[in-house]
Structure 1
Amino acid sequence: MAEDGAVTVYGGSAITDAKKNPFSIKAGLAQMLRGGAIVEVSSVEQAKIAEAAGACSIMVSEPSRPGIKRMPDPSLVKSVKRAVSVPVMSRVRVGHFVEAQILESIGLDYIDESEVLGLADEYNFINKHNFRFPFVCGCRNLGEALRRIREGAAMIRIQGDLLNSGNIVETVKNVRSLMGDIRILNNMDEDEVFTFAKKIAAPYDLVAQTKQMGRLPVVQFAAGGVVTPADAALMMQLGCDGVFVGSEVFECSDPYKKVRGIVQAVRHYNDPHVLVESSCGLEDAMAGINLSDDRIEQFGQSGV
């Protein structure tokens, strides 16, 4: 286990073939992205900008279009993979193991089983232990995170806004919820852990491991609404290991500068001087971040 990290291997019955697809290796590969920004792109040009700006990985997605969202065209993924040297990941629909098989066969570095896309299976997630490559899965709370890890997720994405609106409030709420549950767990007596595991519907061994480590057993990134360096630094200071940056970051006059600022903020999230420099000159960074009147009224009524 890394000194300041989260790579541990939980015990064995859930792993389909531990010799062929060792979870410890997948978790170690995910650890390599720690402290970085993963940037979503929909073209080779955007991928090159993200790499030049310092993204630790590229998330390939289809250009926005009406209808059900599915995995991206494999030819786009291949083109991006040839164009950049950083690790490349892409999304598949929840439960759609054939989409995952297709992306694995073209040599992706990571696969994201994403609720951002349309659902393929309402009740069953992919058995991620059957795949060679690490999987990323989303969550909104501790129980959901630990269930995804039991299924084989080597990285957890604490998910907020799914609409690319630039609204970070949902992400902050879910990150604080997960971190708060871990703090509660850390202060529990050992006898209380069984009841807590049942309450959050999570495997007891992973709950106990989380209590022992004081954090999730795998790396945890934040996603949704991260569009400024300040957003990224906020997620890091709340306890995340990195951030996902949506494709809306390219909807400005200088996407390189914006991505670079976010990357610097993730790396130096506790240094106010770097944060000032990273945030300067991004006057259009807040473009598109407008809540509807209904949402504002809702927040006012809930006391947010």
Structure 2
Amino acid sequence: MADDGAVTVYNSNAITDPKKSPFSIKVGMAQALHGGAIIEVTNSDQAKIAESAGACCIIVSEPVPGGVSRMPDPSLIKEISRSVSIPIMGKARIGHFVEAQILESVGVDYVDESDTLAVADEDNFINKHNFGVPFVCGCRDLGEALRRVREGAAMVRTQGDFNGSGNIVETIRSVRKVMAEVRILTNLDEDEVFAFSKRIEAPYDIVAQTKQMGRLPVVNFASGGVVTPADAALMMQLGCDGVFVGPEIFDCLDPYECVRAIVQAVRNYSNPRVLAEVSCGLDEAMSGLNLGENRVEQFGNRGTY
């Protein structure tokens, strides 16, 4: 979004376990992914492709299951961690702190409290301050983003498409909404911030900090529908710090070239000549991404990516 070096966080450690990593350290760890592409994979072969193509991180998920979707098998995470050297992210269900404990114990670098999985707790999110590993949470507006930050999220992903169909319109809508609310907040008089924080149902201290910084206090990635270099560059030009790319990218004829093109687009998002170069020749490679009704239905119960 804005300055690369912004690691300012709210000044409260009252709900932070002193035995765990301070929140500022977690934010810094998440910020190490700034300007990168996080690729969702379901096996070690895909993980190796993502790493060789330049992904900054991989997020592990199970192949689309029938019934309730849960965290990935720990043995799958261990297998993938032995095959790559880049950071690994694992998914836990919303509110399921035991899944998060298991993921932390098997050595993931980040945990995604993911609305792409079935919801475990309808009323409560995980208290992410009780963990040493940084957490990622989804949002569709500024209030939701800042509530997750108060709970300890070191990164947020502004999310859109829920079915893996490659439709980016919902992601654009959510990203523009978050950015617009940040701009509104930045231009408010100090006395108006109290009412604004109440209206968006977010903690006043983090709202005030967001106003001061002119951006979210943690890194913000776009998630959902990003399948082309142009999609990725658009998200970056709208103000995001990076992108999530779903596992559907591996359904194309040449997944390495597709992932590589998106990585280059994120790194060179303001250079139309580079974007044109990395977009050349992808039509044939991405032919598998023309999803039909069966594929859209298959992804219907999944989340953002």
TM-score (norm 1): 0.93
Q: Which has the higher contact order (CA 8 A, sep 6+)?
A: 2
Q: How does 1:102-251 map to 2 (within 5 A)?
A: 102-251=102-251
Task: Report the CA distance between 1:21 and its aligned residue.
Answer: 2.5
Query: Structure 1: any 5+ residue segments left out of the alignment?
Result: 293-304
Deviations, residues 43-93 of structure 1 (Å, cap 9, x unaligned): 100000000000000100001122111000000000111100000001000
Which residue of structure 1 lines up, in the alignment, with residue 299 of structure 2?
none
For the Cα contact (< 8 Å) 2:252–2:289, is it kept in 1?
no
Runs of 4+ in 1 over 2 A off after TM superposition: 2-6, 13-16, 18-21, 284-292
Deviations, residues 240-282 of structure 1 (Å, cap 9, x unaligned): 0000000000001100000000000000000111101111111
Report the secondary structure of 1:79's partner residue.
helix
Q: How does 1:1-304 map to 2 (within 5 A)?
A: 4-18=4-18, 20-284=20-284, 285=286, 287-289=288-290
For the Cα contact (< 8 Å) 2:61–2:90, is it kept in 1?
yes
Q: How many residues align?
A: 292
For the Cα contact (< 8 Å) 2:16–2:22, is it kept in 1?
no
Deviations, residues 123-143 of structure 1 (Å, cap 9, x unaligned): 000000000000000000000
Task: Report the CA distance between 1:14 and its aligned residue.
Answer: 4.7
The percent of aligned pairs where both chains have the same amino acid is 69
TM-score (norm 2): 0.93
CA–CA separation in structure 2 for the residues paired with 1:195 and 1:24: 27
Report the secondary structure of 2:282's partner residue.
coil
Q: Which amino acid aligns with 2:223?
A: A
Task: Report the CA distance between 1:288 and its aligned residue.
Answer: 4.1
CA–CA separation in structure 2 for the residues paired with 1:62 and 1:180: 35
For the Cα contact (< 8 Å) 1:21–1:130, is it kept in 2?
no
> Root-mean-square deviation (CA), in Å?
1.6
Query: Structure 2: any 5+ residue segments left out of the alignment?
Result: 294-305
CA–CA separation in structure 1 for the residues paired with 2:76 and 2:107: 13
Q: Judging changes above 3 Å, is the alpha-carbon distance between structure 1 residues 170 and 289 closer, same or farther for their aligned structure 2 residues?
A: farther
Task: Report the CA distance between 1:150 and its aligned residue.
Answer: 0.1
Task: Report the CA distance between 1:162 and its aligned residue.
Answer: 1.4
CA–CA separation in structure 1 for the residues paired with 2:252 and 2:120: 33
Task: Report the CA distance between 1:224 and its aligned residue.
Answer: 0.3
Q: Which amino acid aligns with 1:135?
A: F
CA–CA separation in structure 2 for the residues paired with 1:136 and 1:289: 29
